[in-house]
Each structure stands twice: as C-alpha cells, then as structure tokens.
Structure 1
Amino acid sequence: MDNLLHVVQYILNLGPSVMLPLALTIIGLAFGQGFSKAFRSGITIGVGFVGINLVIGLLVNNLGPAAQAMVDRFGLHLQVIDVGWPAAAAISWASPVAAFIIPLALIVNLIMLMTRTTKTMDIDIWNYWHFAATAAFVYVVTGGNVLLALVAAILREIIVLKIADWTAPMVQGFFKLEGISLPTGSTVAYAVLGIPLGKLVGKIPGLKNIKADPDTIQKRFGIFGEPMMMGLILGLLLGILAGYDFAKITQIGMSMAAVMLLMPRMVRILMEGLIPISESVREFLQKRFKNAGELYIGLDAAVVVGHPSVIATALILIPITIFLAVILPGNKVLPFGDLATIVFYIAFIVGSTNGNIVHSVITGIVLMASALYMATNLAPLHTMMAQQAHFAIPKGTSLISSLDEGGNLLNWLIIKIFQVSWGWVILATAIVAGLIYYFITRNKKAIEQ
C-alpha cells in the first residue's frame, strides 16, 4: 500500500507538463505514428501546457490576493473557510484509499473505451484527484469502508466521462478544439445544472434579446470591446473593489489584459502538437473498426479558461460570490481559496450560452449560490477528511470546505447516496451496471468487428 502510494505521488509530482508529453508520445506510438513525429507532437503539447500554466499562474496569482483583499476590506467573518482546490487535492491524495485511484481510473477508462461506453480517453491524470476526493469523502462517511469508497470513485468517473462525451461537441464547436473533451471534475459538475439553466435564461423575454458575446461587444464598443481591453477594464474594476492603490490597480489591469491576449496563443501551440496525434488515432480506428466513431482526447479544462467570455464572466462573478456569501441565509462558507478558479466552473456555461456574458453571469449567480450551500453542508465531512490527513486547520476557524469539491454537485450527490442508506448504494450501482450492459449489448456487433 505504501509503495503504491509512493509510486502515485511520484507520478503526480512530475506535473502535467511532463505527464502530458509522455502520455501523448506513448499514445502516438500506439496508434501508428513514427517515434520522431509522436515525440515532436508530445513535446509541442508539453510546451503549450507550460505556457497555459504560466498564464493561469498570472491569472490566479492576481485574482487570489484581490479576492482576499475584498474579503478583508468588507470585514467578512463566516464560520467555514474555503481552503481552495490545492488544499482539497492534497487532503484527497492523503486519504488511505487514494493510492488505488490512478490505476483503477485508468482501468475503468480503458474498459469503457473497449466497450464503447465512452469516447473520451482521459489522459489528464492529475485531475484524477476529483475521483480521489469522492473516494475520500465516502471513506469517512462509511466509517472506513475501502470497497464502497472505490465504488463511489468509479461512479464519479463514469458520470464525468459521459458528461465529457456530451459536452465534446461544444468544446469543438464553440471553443474550436477539434477532437478534445474536458473531463475535469469541477468543470463538468457545474455543467450539469449550468447548461440547461443557461439555455433557459436565454429564452427569458427581455434577456433573450441581449447580445453580449465578445464579437458583439467589440462591434459596439470598438477598441474597448476587444478581449485585451475587456481584460484591462475588468482588472481595473477588480483592483478598485479590492481597495488597491493606483499602482496595484494598474498592475492587475495589465495582468488581466495579458491573460486575455496570451491564453488563446498558448492554446494554439498546444493544438499544433495535438492535431497530428488526433488524426493518427482517428485513422487507426477507421482502418480497423467499422463505424468506430469519434475518439476524444480528454484534457484539463485549462485549455478553455482563456476564452474572453469565460474570463470576463469569472471576473464579474468573483465580487458577486463574496456578496452572496454575506446575504444568503444559512450560508456559513467564506469564499476564499477557490474564488480565483471560478473560471473553471463556468467554462461550459459560457459555451452553452454561445459566449453571452450577461446570460452566463446570471446562470453563474445561481450556481455559485448553490455551491455555497453544498459547501456549507459538507463542511463537517471536509474537516474530518482534513484532520485524518493531518492538514492544519486555519487559525480562527474550526471548519473548512471548498467550492471545488464541497460545492461540487456530482460529489455532493454521490456522498448523499452513500450517506443515506445501503439501498441507495445498491440502486445507484445497479443503474450504472445496467447502463454499461445496455451500451455493451447495443454495440456488441460493432465491438466484435
């Protein structure tokens, strides 16, 4: 068990900039690419991901302190601290069941690919931590039952992969990422309610006629509607709300302008390396299987958070989420660590509204309100997980939570299923098994060819 955990930690410590090129080089070789072509594609993808992470670092390192400054400026005091996704991930990987997650998740994904119950090849191994989080929560809920914890992780993975398949056409159509799906645990969870709600908002009389996508804004406001200028303006406003002095206000404004301009360029570098591998996979499958269909490469949602509408929506939602935390009756969570990662939560919502910032913000308000309530509800369990992992609880509070996993609808629902009774566990497992059997049966002839 300890040896397996050490291997897992070693793989995770490599980071996505190393894991992605390695994994994709192997995939390229497996699907008929020559070594030099596969290796070059892998390295290009790694370089693109390094660039994306640098830009996201610029985004998060500016938004995090600004959010903290807003909290301090308005003197907010709530009982539960949002420790953010990095802490939640560390707590999850410290769980006794975490060592099994990576090999188990890979096996489940391969089985689903072979049985054609998913089209997504999830190579975003780092984000398997979301499955580990569900397992860790259920491990606490069931009093240390390892088997049930792993069943919960598998259930979460299956749902995530199916949602990734469902949203892949949007990723290709709106975000222009051919052959890609996004099985990031937080992004897909907020899509479950967010996509239908976003569509509903777009049909409300009065609101449905509002056109607020970047192209329309740019046509209406000229230079000030360009993504770079939008980033500058929203960054300046965020700095003002944070109570910064002139120097810091201008610095955060320039940082947001840089994020808006640089992120799409970093994604283009990544896609330059990914397209040859995607084409090789597609050609390989078409030669060997009739009606093979599409195969999506599952990547981190980081590749879409740089879209101008996504960043603009997230910047607007940060102060709104802080305000919601104050006015919502029954909320006990002080949003903090995860405010800077709202960009990940609302990516699919923005895609579903075709980049309409107004519709996305309205939808986002509902989602962030529900996330605060779920995070409040799971705070005792979140704190128990942290204590078992010997995580230091921040001074001034006795409870912690996170918007990423505490406020995650999929995680919350699975925990509640396992928390209520064994009957629900058996029912959920039977439903998943039935769906798998249905897809296997339906595709049996195609699989055998």
Structure 2
Amino acid sequence: MDVLWGGIVNFFGFISGLGASVVMPIIIFIMGFLLKTGVGKSLRAGLTVGVGFIGLNLVIGMMGSNLGPAVQEMSQRFGLSLSVLDVGWPAAAAIAFASRVGAIIIPVCLFVNIIMLLTNTTQTIDIDIWDYWHFAFTGALVAILTGNQGIGILAAVLNEIIVLVLGDYTAPGLEKYNDLPGISLPHGFTTAFVPGAIILNKLIDIIPGLNKVEIDMSTLQKRFGVFGEPMLVGTVIGLIIGIVAGKDAAGVLGLGVTLGAVLVLIPKMAAMLMEGLIPISDAASDFISKNFRNRGKIYIGLDSAIGIGHPTTLAVSLVLVPLTVFLAVILPGNRVLPFADLAVIPWMFVLIIPIVKNNGFRALIIGLITLVIGLWIATDLAPMITQAAINASFQIPTGADQISSICDGANPLTWAIVRLHGIGYIGIGIVAIIAVGLAIINRVRIVKEARALHS
C-alpha cells in the first residue's frame, strides 16, 4: 500500500512539475476526446490553450521584470528598510509543494472536486491543477501552527471547497463583464478577495457622493478617444512609475512603452486561450444537458491569468503598484517590503471588477483597503511562512529577517483559515461549518437552476 501511494504521489508530483503550459493542453485534449469533439479539434484546442498560456506568461514575465527593478530603485531612492522581504509567488508555490501537505495535494483536491461534482455542490471542473498549491500553502501553515499534518490536509480541503463555491458564484459576472463564457476561476488567491469586495461594494452603495462616482474604461475611451485607449493609459502609468523611481530618460520611456504593450498584449493572449477553450466548454455543457437532468451549467476552472487582461483590471493595478510601496512605508505595524509579487496585483482584481460592475473608481478604493489589510496579514503570517520555507530548505535571502509574499502571504482567506485553526477544535469546526454550509447553499442554487433550465 505504501508503495502504491508513493507511486501516486510521485506521478502527480511529476505532473505538477510540467507546469500549466504543458499540463493544460494535455487535459484539454483528453476532455475534448472524451466529449467526442474529435481528435483533430481536441488537439487544436489543447495546443491553442498551451500557446495562450505561454503567451500570457511571457507578457506577465515582461511586466514583472520591468516593474521589479523600478520598485527596487524606488526603495533605494527613498531609503526604505523593512525587515520582511516579499519573495514572490514562485517561492511560495515551491514552499507549498515541498511541504508534506503539498506532496499529496493534487490527488486529494481532484478527489474532492469529483465528489463535489457528483453531489451537485459545485459546477466547476477545476483543471488548473498547478494552482492547487494555494490550498497546499494554507495546509502547510496550519500544519506548522498545529503540529498536525492531518489537520493541515483538512484545512487545505476546506479551503478548496470554499474557493470552488466562490468560483461558481462569480462565474456569471465573468461572462458578463469579462466576456469569459463557460469559465470559472477557482483560484486560491484571486477568489479570496471576493467576500471582502462584496462587503466593501455594499458599503460604498450607502455612502452619499461616493456611490455616484463611476469610472469606466470604455467610457473613458469614448470620451478621450485615442488617449483613453489601454495602450496610452499603460504608457502614461509606466512613465509616472519611471519618473518616481528616478530612472533616466531612456529608462522612463522604456518602462512607459513596455507597460503600454502589456495592456495591449495580455488581452490578446487571453483571447487566444479562450479560442481553445470555447469548443471544450460548449461540448461539456451539451454533454451535461443531454445526460444529467439535475445539473445546471458546468464551468471549466482555470488560472486567473485568463482574466487579468481586462482594461480596468490592468489600469487600476498599475496605479496601485507605486501606491503599494508607499503604503508599506507609512502603514503602522507593517514590516513587509513589497517587491517580487507586485506583478501579481492584477490577480487581486480579476473578480473584483465584475463585483463593482467595471467601475474603476470603486475598484481603486477597494484595492487600497485590500492592500492595507493584505500588508498586515503578510506581516502576521511572516513567521510561519519563514518556518515553512526553512522546512522546505528554501534559502532566506541575505538581509531579510523573515520572508512573506503578497501571493499568498496577503491572502485573507488563508489567514482566516490559519488563525481559526490556531484556536483549536472550535476554530476548525467554524471553518468546517462555513465550508459545508456554503456547499449546501450552492447545491440548492444549482438544483434550482437545473430545474429552470430543463422545465
């Protein structure tokens, strides 16, 4: 039995090591073949998705490699010295997968997803197995806090259940405001900001004056013509960041053109990815409709990278990059220096944009509040993240007392689950009740939707 389990763990470890750009085309091809879309059509869909992911990663990497040095120059220019270093999501993912929870997270999460699909407690087929590391990260921190690996695995599972339900809940908004039909984003980082965004958006609704302010990128483009286009908006923001960072003229201009290009290229790469997914999504919906009368619409769960190309998402995120560094300096109680993960700030807004109905002003306000809370969370979790890194033989960078990250160190859902598990069985019970309760509520909604579709 140990040999069999070891083989399963090693197999899924190999799969996760291939990366999303390799795993996703394989999964899409298999799904297409099983759904009888044809070998050629399935192969083309899978490869198109792979090309889209590679394109997204290239553009996002370009954004990060240009923003990172600019932020470092800002830090040096203004003499910033904060003792907790943001090491970025690649390091956080490596730490998560290197933990004992991470070693088995893929088969466990796949099993949970299948059970939820069979019990009608989710509509999402989460094929983004690479991003299961977010659940492993939560579980690894809980295991460190409680000293119990079993409780750590339980925490990871409860995290997944909550995220799958939130992925279902936000999918219609993605279709309406992001033009992503048949897609949900059960992403452990992006989805974590949904509850807070809903609450803050409701608060803005009842504040006179603020509830009337609206900034829409499409409206700006109509009003200002070429100067309202994402390419120009990105260029202007890049120029401002370059100037604040103290770059020379060539550096300022280079950063401006690069960020302008990012706002143009990311939506194009996301569109290519969608081109590959739509045939599979349509086939899955047809299959469910013909064979399962008690099920509503089925969504394919993907990485949130597919949604960051929205003009409002990118524009608000780029504005918040220098503001995040400023907040880190003036915020009482914060010890985290944002650095490597500044490029993931757009991931925070993918699901906030549908909630605020594409209102850039509300997204900016919610983003500022979210980042303030996120920096406090990242500071609070830094000791556990540092210990998890040491356990995974991750080398702490020279000059840093501790490490953290924006993704997932500033994750409010991870923080809530970790801290509730830290108070013992009562806290574990609270998280379990919330997760199971959300799943049951989701089932009621799904069954009702299915009856309406088939009546």
Q: TM-score range by the shorter chain?
A: over 0.9
> Take 1:365 and 1:426, find their aligned partners in 2: how far apart are those partners?
32
Structure 2 residue identity aligned to 1:268: A
Residue in 2 that maps onto 1:139: 143
CA contact (8 A) 1:213 1:354 kept: no
Confirm whether residue 106 of structure 1 aligns to residue 99 of structure 2.
Answer: no
- Deviation string, structure 1 residues 131-171 (Cα, Å, up to 9, x no partner): 1101110110111x121111000000000101101110111
TM-score normalised to structure 1 length: 0.94
Tell me which of 424, 429, 433 is aligned to 1:426.
Answer: 429
Report the equivalent of 1:397. 400
User: How far did residue 392 of structure 1 move?
Assistant: 0.9
Say which of 22, 28, 35 aligns to 2:32: 28
Letter of the 1:130 counterpart: H
Match of 2:305 in 1: 302
Q: Using the TM superposition, give the Cα deviation of residue 3 of structure 1 relative to its aligned residue in structure 2, in angstroms.
A: 4.9
Given that 1:372 and 1:403 are in contact with CA atoms closer than 8 Å, whether structure 2 keeps it comes out as yes
1:201 to 2:197 alignment = no
Give the superposition deviation at 1:97: 2.1
Secondary structure of the structure 1 residue equivalent to 2:189: helix
1:266-324 CA-partner distances (Å, limit 9, x unpaired): 12211211111111111111111224210000111101111111111111111111111
Instruction: Kindly indicate whether the alpha-carbon contact (under 8 Å) linking 1:227 and 1:261 is maintained by their aligned counterparts in 2.
Output: yes
Letter in 1 for 2:361: V
Partner residue, 1:62: 66
SS at match of 1:306: coil
What do the CA deviations read for 1:96-118 (whole angstroms, capped 9, x no partner)?
22111000000000110111100
Q: Which moved more, 1:296-305 or 1:324-333?
A: 324-333
* Percent pairwise identity: 47
For 1:296-445, what aligned pairs fall within 5 Å after superposition?
A: 296-433=299-436, 436=439
* Contiguous gaps of at least 5 residues in structure 2: none
Q: Secondary structure at the match of 1:97?
A: helix
2:325/2:338 contact within 8 Å kept: yes
State the match for 1:91 in structure 2: 95
Q: Which residue of 1 aligns with 2:75?
A: 71
The question of 1:124 aligning with 2:128 is answered yes
**What per-residue deviation string (whole Å, max 9, x for no partner) do you get for residues 38-59 of structure 1?**
1221112112222222221222
Equivalent residue in structure 1 for 2:186, among 165, 183, 186: 183
In the TM superposition, residue 383 of structure 1 has moved relative to its aligned partner by 1.0
SS at match of 2:403: strand
3-state SS in 1 of match to 2:340: coil
The answer as to whether partners of 1:115 and 1:439 remain within 8 angstroms in 2 is: no
Corresponding residue for residue 162 of structure 1? 165
* Cα distance per residue 1:408-438 (max 9 Å; x no partner): 1110011011101122213433554466567
User: Taking structure 1 as reference, are residues 160 and 436 closer, same or farther at Cα in structure 2, changes over 3 Å only?
Assistant: closer
Runs of 4+ in 1 over 3 A off after TM superposition: 1-6, 430-447
Kindly report the root-mean-square deviation, in angstroms, between the aligned alpha carbons of the 2 structures: 2.2
**Deviation readout 1:27-83 (Å, 9 max, x if unpaired):** 112223222221221112112222222221222221122122212211111121111
More displaced 10-residue stretch of structure 1: 167-176 or 90-99: 90-99
Closer, same or farther in 2 for the Cα pair 1:206/1:161, shift >3 Å? same
* Residue pair 2:161, 2:439 contacting (<8 A) in 1 also: no
Separation in structure 1 between the aligned mates of residue 117 and residue 328 of structure 2, nearest angstrom: 42
Structure 1 unaligned residues grouped into runs of 5+? none
CA offset at residue 177 of structure 1? 0.5
Q: Distance in 1 between matches of 2:205 and 2:66?
A: 32
Shift of residue 205, structure 1, vs aligned partner: 2.5
Task: Identify the residue that residue 277 of structure 2 maps to in structure 1.
Answer: 274
- Cα pair 1:187 1:344 within 8 Å, conserved: yes
Code of the residue aligned with 1:315 in structure 2: it is L
Question: Given the two structures, how large is their TM-score scaled by the length of structure 2?
Answer: 0.93
Taking structure 1 as reference, are residues 203 and 54 closer, same or farther at Cα in structure 2, changes over 3 Å only?
A: farther
Contact 2:162 2:435 (C-alpha < 8 Å) held by counterparts: no
Deviates more, 1:168-177 or 1:6-15: 6-15
Q: Quick one: structure 1 residues 229 and 433, their matched pair in 2 at CA, closer, same or farther if it must change by over 3 Å?
A: closer
Judged with a 3 Å threshold, the aligned counterparts in structure 2 of structure 1 residues 222 and 407 are, in CA distance, closer, same or farther, namely same
Q: Does 1:285 align with 2:288?
A: yes
1:217-238: CA deviations, max 9, x gaps? 1122221111111111111111
